[in-house]
Amino acid sequence: MTTNAYLHPQQGYSFEQDLYEGVIIENIQISGTDVHYIPRTLSDSQSQIFGEDVLSSFDSYATVEMWLADFSIYGGESEMLSKFGMEVRDTATFIVSNKRFTEECVPIAPASRHESIKYRPCEGDLLYVPFSHSLFEIKFVEDKFPAFYQLNKQYVWALRCELVQLNNENFNTGLDAVDEAFGDLGNRLSLSVLAQDGTYILTEDGGRLLDESYVVSKPYDNHSGYGDNAAIKEEFLKIVNFDANNPFGENL
């Protein structure tokens, strides 16, 4: 005895699956909005302290329709005043069709991305929402949404996102709304600040705090000394003494 006399697992559900998937795609296209998917291109440089990629970039984008799971308001802690100043911690969950993602976004995946994850959205990639001018970072990709696989097939990805916190990434996507706004703000290392008398504010080693001659369309590739922790370690060893007899001693 089978659950449904007209559908048999051993014979497959291909026609029914295609019909169900088409209905989902049409529903997202009716109720959703166009979102720009921006994959992250990783470099070979990693921070020796945090193990993160400090020189990643965003070099392409694709437009695909997505459905905002909560259409009334963004989630998260919203605006809050912390010791670092005002922070906006909005979150959102976007639903994207597996088939539509494969058609639009997989072809622009970075060549360096491993084959085992090229087929899916990846944590760290960005979503730009035109209607709110918001840039979100994907924090987690849920592959069990909805919780059950209708007709034994996965039809959508659920992308759980937070507003991005930029860390000097390069933006060369070709999307002006992103490159000119977030690229200009993100590459803060190449902007400059002047004092009231018109002189540059200098760092301890005599260099400019930031460089004023930054051009948005020109990639920032001068990373000399960026992420080099040797100087930090040298200063640290001048202060802390790792003597076995006095592990908490100081050289002061």
Is residue 108 within 8 A of residue 39, CB to CB? The reply is yes
Separation CA 57–CA 110 (nearest Å) = 10
Name the pTM for this structure: 0.67
- pLDDT by residue, tens only, the chain of 252 residues: 456 666 665 555 777 888 888 999 999 999 999 999 999 998 776 666 666 666 788 999 999 999 988 766 666 555 566 665 666 678 889 999 999 999 999 999 998 888 889 999 999 999 999 988 889 999 999 887 765 677 778 899 999 999 888 777 788 898 888 887 776 544 444 455 566 666 656 666 555 555 444 444 445 455 444 455 677 777 777 777 666 676 666 665
- Which DSSP letter does residue 53 get? B
Q: What is the token pair recorded at 17?
A: 């699956």
Q: Where are the domains of the chain?
A: 9-186
Give residue 90's identity as a one-letter amino acid code. D
Q: Are 207 and 224 in contact (CB under 8 A)?
A: no
Q: What tokens does 47 get?
A: 């921070």
Question: Cα 101–105–108 angle (5° rounding)?
Answer: 160
> Identity (one letter) of the amino acid at 198?
G
CB 178 within 8 A of CB 171: yes
